[in-house]
Amino acid sequence: MMRKARLAAVVILFAAGGAVAEVRIVALGDSLTHGYGLPEEDGFVPRLEAWLHANGAPDAVVVNAGVSGDTTAGGLARLAWSLGPEGEADALIVELGGNDLLRAIDPAESRANLDSILTEAAARGLPVLLTGMRAPLNYGPDYKAAFDAIYPELAAAHDAIYDPFFLEGLVGSPELFQPDGIHPNAAGVERLVARFGPLALALIERTRGAE
């Protein structure tokens, strides 16, 4: 109810020519979302927010709910706290699964955790942008097939905006990564945000079209 009232207020303000209320996007993720190894201002969340402000969404606020080392289970455990009270968040970005891969967690567990996250978002009426990870071949073809199928299947089941691979366009370009070869450097974040930004704009459009 609070979310519906807030959206109604946005419509009234817009029709009256007033300022539009902020669109609050919670980015739930791991170190890639958090901005590991970078000055705060160079991390994914601040740069995405700046990109949105410069590309048609000056009212966007992106909340950094990234925790380094977090798994899908950890993201689920802190989801309610990250979203805040009912009506506070307008949309959700989910970037989790990389640490499940590093720990070779059963894909069925990762799937169940992500499914629960998306189910809770739906219960709150929040549109979701789900960004995926890809399993390496060293776990075997069965593990890879089971893990890689999680993201497109859950996105379809929950009508989420689907981004197949968070690090698309960066892998294979070592100059875009920090020395650990895992986390993007500032230049890598800029390339990532340039690709990801339009997806975030589409997410914002879903919040504006919500009833």
Q: Write down the number of H helices and E strands in the chain.
A: 10, 5
Contact 67, 34 (CB under 8 A): yes
> What gap in Å lies between CA 30 and CA 81, rounded to an integer?
16
**Number of neighbouring beta carbons within 10 Å of residue 46:** 18
Q: Which of 70, 100, 163, 183 is catalytic?
A: 183
By the 8 A CB rule, do 82 and 26 touch?
yes
Q: Is 34 a catalytic residue?
A: no
Q: Using only the alpha carbons of the chain, give its radius of gyration.
A: 17
Please report the sign of the dihedral spanned by the C-alpha atoms of residue 111, residue 160, residue 201, residue 5: negative
Q: CA nearest 98: which of 171, 195, 203? A: 171
- Given the residues 30, 31, 70, 110, select the one marked as catalytic: 31
Q: How far apart are CA 78 and CA 70, in angstroms?
A: 10
Three-state SS annotation for 126-139: CCEEEECCCCCHHH
Task: Judge whether 180 counts as a catalytic residue.
Answer: yes
Question: Would you name the residues annotated as active-site residues?
Answer: 31, 180, 183
